[in-house]
Each structure stands twice: as structure tokens, then as C-alpha cells.
């Protein structure tokens, strides 16, 4: 169970990033060219937030099952000084949940905006903040914070 959700969590990160990049690209283009907010833009907005929500649920399962997180909270007082454990026990969790909350608020606000220009602008701002936080909190192999593979297969 644990390794399955961890593999899923690792793969899904790419879908989260790609959908956000595409949504931001469409919002930027739509805002700059003052285009109409089409049904496709609306679907992209909706699915980008949904993919982030799926990752949130998988992330929570990983969090509950993770031996790293279990060990961290078994001796929190002493292990808070261990950065690799604190990264997954607190840092990654708090930043990712915050980013997904920001993406959700942005998506809901964009949906309710009156003009197409405001819809693109709202999506552009909130999704850009979200992807920046997510990028910082991913344990890339090149990250100074914590390192995990680009794609987990075992
Ligand atoms: C957009 C949101 C998120 C992205 C892109 C993301 C990405 C990742 C990546 C790439 C890893 C490394 C996987 C590996 O070891 O191969 C990871 C690990 C982890 N993630 Fe997330 N994550 C997100 C949200 C969350 C959330 C919301 C939680 C908790 C509720 C969470 C909990 C964890 C935990 C506990 C680990 C470490 C598991 C372990 O090594 O035992 N993640 N995450």
C-alpha cells in the first residue's frame, strides 16, 4: 500500500506541474491578447484544480502511511532537529496544502469573475503563486532542501 501510493504520488507530481504550466500559459495568452474565456479555458481551470486535489488526497495517504513521518512523530522533540524528517513531516506538508488552497481559491474566484479579462488575470495570479510554492516544496534531486528521484518506480 505505502509503496503504491508513493509511486502514484511521485508520478502525479508531473501531471500537477504540467496542468499548472498549461493553465498559466493559457491565462497569460488570454489576458495579453484580451481573448474570450472559452469553454476550453474553463475546463483547463477546472481540471488543473482537480488534479491538484487528487494529489492532495494521495499526499494525505502517503503522509498517514509513511514510515518517515511515523518515526518523526514518535520522538518529535528530538527529531525536529533532523532536517530531512522535518522536511516531510512539516515543511512539505504545510507548503503543499497551502499551495493547493491558493489554487482552489484562485479557481473558484476566476469562475465567479464577471469579465473574461478578470478570469484570466485571477487564474494567472493564483496559479502562478501555487506553482511557485509547489516547485520549492518538491524534493527534486537538485533541491537544497530534500532529495528524491525524478520518478519513483519501486
Ligand atoms: C502538489 C502537491 C504535491 C506534490 C507535487 C508532491 C510531490 C512529492 C514528491 C515528488 C515526493 C517524493 C516521492 C518519492 O519519494 O519518490 C513527495 C513525498 C512526500 N509527500 Fe508529497 N507532494 C504534494 C503534496 C503532498 C501533501 C499535501 C502531503 C501530505 C498531506 C504530502 C506528503 C508527502 C510525504 C509524507 C512524502 C514522503 C513520503 C516518504 O518518503 O515516506 N505531499 N511528495
> How do residues 72-89 score in pLDDT, each as one tens digit?
999 999 999 999 999 999
149 belongs to a structural domain: no
Question: Which residue's C-alpha comes closest to atom 30 of ligand 1?
Answer: 60
Is-above-0.75 flag for pTM?
Answer: yes
151 belongs to a structural domain: no
Domain that holds residue 129: 2-137
Ligand 1 neighbours by CB, cut-off 6 Å: 6, 9-10, 13, 16, 52, 55-56, 59-60, 62-63, 66, 68-69, 88, 92-93, 96-97, 134, 138-139, 148-149, 152
Q: Closest ligand 1 atom, CA of 69?
A: 35
Q: Any idea of the CA torsion for 36, 42, 45, 49, to the nearest 10 degrees?
A: 160
Is the pLDDT at 141 greater than 90, yes or no? yes
121 belongs to a structural domain: yes
130 belongs to a structural domain: yes
Is the pLDDT at 154 greater than 90, yes or no? no
26 belongs to a structural domain: yes
Q: Closest ligand 1 atom, CA of 63?
A: 35
Number of domains in the chain: 1
Is the pLDDT at 40 greater than 90, yes or no? yes
Is the pLDDT at 111 greater than 90, yes or no? yes
pLDDT for 27 equals 98
Question: Which residue's C-alpha comes closest to atom 3 of ligand 1?
Answer: 96
111 belongs to a structural domain: yes
Burial (Cβ within 10 Å: 0-12, 13-18, ≥19) of residue 142: exposed
Percent of the chain with pLDDT over 90: 98
146 belongs to a structural domain: no
Is the pLDDT at 123 greater than 90, yes or no? yes
pLDDT for 153 equals 85
Instruction: State mean pLDDT over 104-119.
Output: 98
Distance 125 CA to ligand 1 centre (A): 24
Q: Which residue from 78, 99, 56, 85 is spatially nearest to 145, judged by alpha carbons?
A: 85
143 belongs to a structural domain: no
Amino acid at each position: 500500500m505505502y509503496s503504491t501510493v508513493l509511486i502514484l504520488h511521485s508520478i502525479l507530481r508531473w501531471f500537477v506541474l504540467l496542468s499548472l504550466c498549461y493553465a498559466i500559459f493559457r491565462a497569460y495568452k488570454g489576458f495579453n491578447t484580451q481573448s474570450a474565456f472559452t469553454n476550453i479555458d474553463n475546463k483547463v481551470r477546472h481540471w488543473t484544480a482537480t488534479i491538484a486535489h487528487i494529489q492532495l488526497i494521495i499526499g494525505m495517504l502517503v503522509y498517514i502511511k509513511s514510515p518517515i513521518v511515523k518515526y518523526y512523530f514518535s520522538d518529535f522533540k528530538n527529531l525536529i532537529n533532523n532536517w530531512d524528517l522535518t522536511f516531510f513531516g512539516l515543511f512539505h506538508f504545510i507548503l503543499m496544502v497551502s499551495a493547493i488552497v491558493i489554487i482552489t481559491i484562485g479557481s473558484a474566484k476566476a469562475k465567479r469573475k464577471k469579465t473574461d479579462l478578470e478570469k484570466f488575470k485571477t487564474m494567472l495570479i493564483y496559479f502562478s503563486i501555487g506553482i511557485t510554492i509547489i516547485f520549492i516544496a518538491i524534493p527534486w534531486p537538485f533541491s537544497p532542501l530534500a532529495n528524491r528521484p525524478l520518478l519513483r518506480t519501486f
